[in-house]
Amino acid sequence: MTSPLSSPLAVDAVGVRVRIEVSGLSSADRESVTRAWADARVGDHAPADVTVVPVSRDGEGQMLSDLSSMVTQAAIEARRGDAWMLHAAGLAAPDGGVVVLVGPSGAGKTTATRVLARSWGYVSDETIGIESDTRISSYRKPLSVITEGQGYKVQHAPRDLGLLPLPAAPLRARRVVLLDRDSAHTRARLVPIPASEALVLLAPHSSALASMPHPLRTIMSVLARTGGALRAQYAEAEQLVALVDELMSEALDYSPTATEPPSHAVVPSTVPGSSNGVVRRYRRGAVVDSCALPDDRIALLSAEPDGRGTLRILAGAAPALWLAADDSTRDDLLNAATGGAPYDEAARAVDDVLSQLVEAGLLTVTR
């Protein structure tokens, strides 16, 4: 008969079934892994999407910390191009609405989770995957806690910290909140973030954006459906309780809001050629996605050779130039940017912007 501690251990990590191969661990380490991951465990005998193999260390703490990173990275890689993966924590209300708390390592996500998940269901303290229709898959991993005197994050099972289980209702994003913890904040408050600024702030906390279909439009659509992004300004995690309670009291409504209109792909304009002969002609460079923003700005996401994505926001004359660059001459683009009434100073400014767009790879030049 197979011992329960040596049998396969499968966990749900943002919708990915991850098998943790524990057979090579000592009995003590197997027991530690099983306890730490109990709240994320799913049926062990169904096929796994991916398998990770933890390695015994001199101390179980380091092994558990390494395992947490292994499972997280395996799950993110498995969902590459499939969902908006955010470096974020999540708390769920009984109706399934999830408040997503976004921030880099050290921003206070785990500390906030330990406080808030005593009142709301624990979804994750590190990674949240959001579908284009706002559905969320949980990742009830052990909480990774920075502990004085330890060179690794100590792993705590959610149940050992008294954190609440998930609600029965399906999980969907309720609000996306960027954490802004600062001892200088005299009072806690929620501050709306304009859509274009939110896009810039959220992109660095998103994994494999360039692999997603329509990533910019997906993000903008999720924000529109959930009422727009917010910034939580606070000094101590306990101050977040009232703020999250306020958000959880809002009714779930996934129709786009009036203040955050649904995003849409940029439709390039066409400028008739006005020059003949051998001249420099400009064309738009390849981008992963484009998105129109308020105030006539455009967001562009381009893919780098290493697979990362680079987000750029075009403003001023740059949007008109980029949109009009369809095998267009410099005169064509000057006309598009100035409305047909160029003057020397405007021409110099347009030339400068054109040079910047070419240098960034957003325009290409042919002769």
Q: Where are the alpha helices (DSSP H) in the chain?
A: 27-36, 60-78, 109-116, 195-202, 215-225, 240-248, 318-324, 330-338, 344-359
* 107-166 tens-digit pLDDT: 889 999 999 999 999 999 999 999 999 999 999 999 998 887 777 889 999 999 999 999
Q: At CA 135, angle to CA 132 and CA 140, rounded to 5?
A: 130
Report the distance separating Cα 212 and Cα 120, nearest Å. Answer: 30
CB-based contact 299:312 (threshold 8 Å): yes
| 241-250, 253-262, 327-336: least confidently modelled range | 253-262
Q: Coil, strand or helix: which one is 233?
A: strand
pLDDT tens-digit readout, 190-219: 999 998 899 999 999 999 899 998 999 999
By the 8 A CB rule, do 268 and 314 touch? no
Which amino acid belongs to residue 189? R
pLDDT for 146 equals 84
The pLDDT value given to residue 1: 41
CA distances from 71 to 54, 58, 78, 131, 142 (A): 10, 20, 10, 20, 11
Strands 97-102 and 172-181: parallel
Closest C-alpha to 227, from 248, 200, 211: 248
Residues 16-74 pLDDT 10s: 999 999 998 999 999 999 999 999 999 877 799 999 999 887 777 899 999 999 999 99
- What's the pLDDT band for 256 if we cut at 50, 70, 90? low
What are the tokens at 252?
């779930």
Query: Cα 152 from chain centroid?
Result: 25
What is the CATH number assigned to the segment(s) 81-248?
A: 3.40.50
CB 285 within 8 A of CB 314: no
Rounded-to-integer distance, Cα 366 and Cα 25, Å: 61
Q: How confident is the model at residue 272 (pLDDT cuts 50, 70, 90)?
A: very low
Q: Per the structure block, which two tokens stand in for 222? A: 């999720």
C-alpha 214/C-alpha 44 separation (Å) is 35
Would you say the C-alpha torsion 282, 333, 304, 309 has a positive or negative sign? negative
